[in-house]
Amino acid sequence: MDSKKKLGLVGRNISYSFSKKFFEEKFQKLMLDQFSYSIFDFQEIDEVESLFKDPELLGFNVTIPYKEKIIDYLDELSDEAREIGAVNCVLIKDGIKIGYNTDAFGFEKTLKIHRKSHQNSALILGNGGAAKAVQYVLNKNGISTQTVSRKSDLNFENLDKETVQNHHIIVQCTPLGTFPNTEDCLEFPFEGLSKEHLVIDLIYNPNYTKFIINSAERDSKTVNGYYMLEQQAEKAWEIWNFKKK
**Residues with a known catalytic role:** 67
Q: What gap in Å lies between CA 18 and CA 36, rounded to an integer?
A: 15
- C-alpha pair distances (Å), 174 with each of 18, 57, 130: 17, 30, 8
DSSP alpha helix (H) spans, the chain: 19-29, 48-51, 79-84, 103-114, 129-140, 161-165, 210-216, 226-242
Q: Peptide bond preceding 55: is omega within 30 degrees of 0, i.e. cis?
A: no
Q: Is 50 exposed, middle or buried (0-12, 13-18, 19+ CB in 10 A)?
A: exposed
Cβ–Cβ under 8 Å, residues 220 and 199: yes
Report yes or no: 147 and 118 within 8 Å, Cβ to Cβ. Answer: no
Are 73 and 98 in contact, with CB atoms under 8 Å apart?
no
Cα distance between the two ends of the chain = 18
Distances (CA, A) of 176 to 29, 160, 202, 212, 217: 34, 20, 10, 12, 19
Beta strands across the sheet bearing 169-172: 144-148, 121-125, 169-172, 198-201, 221-223
